[in-house]
Amino acid sequence: MSQPTHATATPKTSPDKRGGRLTPHALACVALLTLLGFSLGCSEFVVIGIETELAEAFGVSLARVGELISFFSITYAVCTPVLAITTGRFKRYQLLVAYAAVFIASNVAMAFAPTFELLLASRVLLGAVSGALLAVGVTFIPELVGVEKTSMMISIVYAAFSVAMVISTSAGKMIAETMDWHLAMVGVLAMAVITSLALLAVLPRTGSTDEPATMREQAVLFLEPQILTGMAIFIFGVGSVYVFYGYVTPYLETILGLDALGASTVLMAYGVACFFSNLLSGWFDARFGMKSLLASFLVQAALLFGLFALGSTMPAALVVVLAIGLSMYIVSVPCISLFMRVARTRHPKTLTLASSLEPMSFNTGIAFGTAVGGAVVSGPGMAQVGLVGGAFSIVALALVAITLLLDRKVRRASMQ
């Protein structure tokens, strides 16, 4: 995975070039950035595990509770690139302070919202800054660890985010069943406060990527055709899974007949599968690049169609569910590599914007898939989510083929 390079770094945070060892301060910073990814994931996905409890507590339908996911993701997708483009003249640390403050405030509002409308508003506020906070955070990594270790460290940060997706879902479900769903929200809030304050205390105040960039200098990245098709891959590729995963807890309970403990256990196992999915993503990208997605989306489509075909057949359906988790994040690193390579080679001042495209596109896919899933659940029924998701995976497969052709064409033109 290609990542941004930097000409200089502050002495305090630069890696030890002798033997490639990192300073304790750099390791502490990376550890806290990883914890930030985990905290952001928990804040985003905790509601998935307590959907049924939220519907009962606020007197709304399950499909309406799904808006807590889709509205968050839509705001995330819109605000992440807008903030990246419009704040190019500010220093990263200043932005980090502002985003962290809003991140904490939105978690406070989410934990103590007295009505569904206020809960939804807090989710919108949370979505407005989450992507920007993560995108700014990862730009510190090359200066902290050096270019050679950047890819691995960024993969770990994103892996923490994805693992949090399932851990928060499972833990939220268990807390809601044994105590009170409010406690799940409060726990997420406490993590957000501790992580944000610790991170602000240790990160460097200045760095080489603080060079100002105008909106025009950054917006040019969207003129690259393979960037646009790469983003579309996320929308349909991630959306294909979220047609199902956006309603995974009620799916496990109503279609597969699991009790609360069984559903929580499966969600934990799904989290482990997602962790290995991130590792597979990096492995496939290092060896095959974007071409690996041709095979992965074909397999993902087969799994989702298989989920529809199996229905409530156990344990086969459960095996397919876990296999879907293993396929879920393979899309990430090849597309991140594409975004960062295009930015580094053609538009160097767009690196921060390029780093925001993955979370932005991923959450657009979440919003799209969850919204479609809500329509399927309310219409044809929850048993049909695999069929619709599989169709979206086929669209993603076609988009990968188009992206490969466009990228090859652009590379050839640049060599002439």
* Contact (CB, 8 A) for 244 and 304: yes
| Residue 145 to residues 8, 149, 339, Cα–Cα distance (Å) | 12, 6, 21
Determine the structural domain holding residue 83 and report its residue range: 24-415
- The predicted pLDDT at position 6 comes to 35
* Contact (CB, 8 A) for 54 and 66: no
- The predicted pLDDT at position 154 comes to 73
Which residues neighbour 147 within 8 Å (Cβ) at sequence distance 6 or greater? Answer: 3, 5, 6
- The predicted pLDDT at position 147 comes to 61
Report yes or no on 406 lying in a domain: yes
How many other CB atoms are found less than 10 A from the CB of residue 17?
8
**Out of 56-60, 270-274, 317-321, 398-402, which region has the weakest mean confidence (pLDDT)?**
270-274
Report yes or no on 11 lying in a domain: no
Compare 146 and 128 and report the one with higher pLDDT.
128
Report yes or no on 352 lying in a domain: yes
Could you report the per-residue pLDDT of 333-349, keeping only the tens digit for each?
788 878 877 877 787 77
Domains held by the chain: number: 1
Report yes or no on 135 lying in a domain: yes
- The predicted pLDDT at position 98 comes to 94
CATH number at residue 94: 1.20.1250.20
Report yes or no on 241 lying in a domain: yes
Binning pLDDT at 50, 70 and 90, where does residue 210 land? low
Report yes or no on 15 lying in a domain: no
Compare 62 and 130 and report the one with higher pLDDT.
130
Report yes or no on 360 lying in a domain: yes
Compare 294 and 182 and report the one with higher pLDDT.
294
Residue 64 burial by Cβ neighbours in a 10 Å radius (0-12, 13-18, 19+): middle
Binning pLDDT at 50, 70 and 90, where does residue 288 land? confident
Report yes or no on 195 lying in a domain: yes
Average pLDDT score, the chain: 83
Question: Can you tell me the distance from the alpha carbon of 17 to that of 149, in angstroms, rounded to the nearest whole number?
Answer: 12
pLDDT at residue 16 greater than cutoff 50: no
- The predicted pLDDT at position 334 comes to 86
- The predicted pLDDT at position 169 comes to 78
Compare 15 and 40 and report the one with higher pLDDT.
40
Question: Can you tell me the distance from the alpha carbon of 339 to that of 279, in angstroms, rounded to the nearest whole number?
Answer: 19
Rounded to two decimals, the pTM is 0.71
Q: How far is CA 331 from the centre of its chain?
A: 11
Could you report the per-residue pLDDT of 21-32, keeping only the tens digit for each?
678 888 888 899
Question: Can you tell me the distance from the alpha carbon of 293 to that of 225, in angstroms, rounded to the nearest whole number?
Answer: 18
- The predicted pLDDT at position 371 comes to 87
